[in-house]
Amino acid sequence: MDLTRTKALPIRHGKPKVLKMLLALALLLPAGFGIPAQTSYAAGISKPFPQQVDYPGMIKPSHVTQNAMNKSVSDYYDYWKATYLKHDLSSLPGGYYVKGDITGDPEGFKALGSSEGQGYGMIITVLMAGHDPNAQNIYNGLFKTARAYKSSGNPHLMGWVVADSPKAQGHFGSATDGDLDIAYSLILAHQQWGSDGAVNYLDEARTMINDGIKVSYVTTNNRLNLGDWDAKDALNTRPSDWMLSHFRAFYEVTGDAGWIQVIDNLYSVYDQFTAAYSPTTGLVSDFVVGNPPKPAPEWYLDEFKETNQYYYNASRFPLRVVMDYAFYGDPRGKAAADKITGWIKTKANGSPANIKNGYNLKGTAIGDYATAVFVAPFISAGTADSANQAWINAGWDWMKNKREDYFSDTYNLLNLLFITGNWWVPEGQAEQPIINLALNKPAVSSSIEGSGFEADKAFDGNLMSRWASNEGSDPEWIYVDLGSVQSISGVTLKWEAAYAKQYKIQVSTDSSGTPVQWTDVNSTTDGNGGVDEIDFSPHNARYVRMLGSERGTPYGYSLYEFEVYGTSSP
């Protein structure tokens, strides 16, 4: 079973007036993430611009050369940097910020920027290192500001407003999207420059993810709330925060499979929402509330009237969802991108210039002009299918020279980086790398739910696949053949929602090819799902089995991954 704005409205966040040991291996990236040969590398930079990655299954503009696209991006960055990147804070010398208007109450301060802009700027700066020789200094200055302007609710997060006053530092609550981008940028920064300098980017990322984002934003129902002022059981969420590929990077650096559960749940929320409210368009509203999910009402949280429509928050979603397909190959990301693209191409009669700045969920325009924060994500979504080549070419021509305001220009630049392959994928950075002896080894199970849920899916290193047994039966089991006798001392079970309440871990050294004699090495009677990391005294084993005797749900047993750890052959 599968449990599975007006013309100058640039930013939407306001504090509402109402108010673990890492054992996981990194996810395997799809084949084809080769980096082109570089004639030279700037000192200390591992991925200098341009990287010009060709994402598997994706297309780029075909009527211009890669060099021309790179030049357009670097020119746009130079313009963006000169226009919006500032370091004039008298209250924080050396602190950089991205200057942009806000909506919401600045509570007596003169707002200069936001955590949202800070996150965007930090991602952009990392990706442009190599073109910009000062990129790391700028990045560190942006990070300095993010840390100084900590949230009033959780000090591991950033307050949503930047203002030139020491009293603004620690005064404001947070906004989810800014912190997600900031934490993700720290992972990129570690990949780009390493973490042995003035800032330990990887440690900062892990702390922010584990002690900030996970603690304050991930709800008990595996959604994302709106800020650290929001409830942990909240059912309100903002689709512009559904940064699915970010969450895979969070998983890779923390080993916390809970991030995969968040991804799965958000895809489920999207499917439920669109089936009920936008089956033709695939659009989502600026805010989604309730269970089952539905559009928020107008004027939700006093933000603006169109909070129930596809407006200046939701306009960012197509980029976020297509990135999950481009970077990690999730077909759900492609399905969403294809539906949205199919609708908007028809609606705009094949011309990106005809896109409007707002639609209701059925696809009727509520806006009256084209702006990049709407156009650019629709073009990015189209890169998931070669049938959209003319659309991508026309969109590129529209985007590359568009100059508007902070919000549109900044999001336009992020899309330009993605479309040209200059937004690269950070590699996994798990601490204490330990060999998963079961990875890609033969497996056998007592049953399978159906095609696509075979035993080997629990040993493929891919948290987008899983083994599932028949529903409603006990006992059930799954075992792996390590190929030879190994000394093992632990397993990690990454359960899907259908988990075992009572189970045993057993080992066998039978040489017959079909193990008969099993030895218990661990027994659990109070399993509650999630990730079970089980250590035991070293045992020799060729076969390792999970024997489930009592289900924790009415369904069956289901594992995303069954990992086996040890040190050497006996």
Residues labelled as active-site residues: 177
**CB 188, CB 123: distance < 8 Å:** yes
CA 536 vs. chain centroid, Å, equals 34
Q: Which is nearest to 491 in space by CA: 442, 559, 431, 556? A: 559
Exposure b/e, 256-294, CB count within 10 A at least 16 = b? bbbbbbbbbbbbbbbbebbeebbeebbbbbbbbbeeebb
Task: Evaluate whether 499 touches 529 at the Cβ level (below 8 Å).
Answer: yes
DSSP-assigned letters across all residues of 370-435? --HHHHHHHHHHHTT-GGGHHHHHHHHHHHTT----HHHHHHHHHHHHHHTT-SPPPPP--SS---
For residue 212, give Cα distances in angstroms to 25, 126, 162, 203, 276: 23, 22, 19, 13, 33
Long-range contact pairs involving 515-519 (C-beta distance under 8 Å, separation at least 24): 515/479, 515/542, 515/543, 515/545, 518/545, 518/547
Burial class (CB in 10 A: 0-12, 13-18, 19+), 509: middle
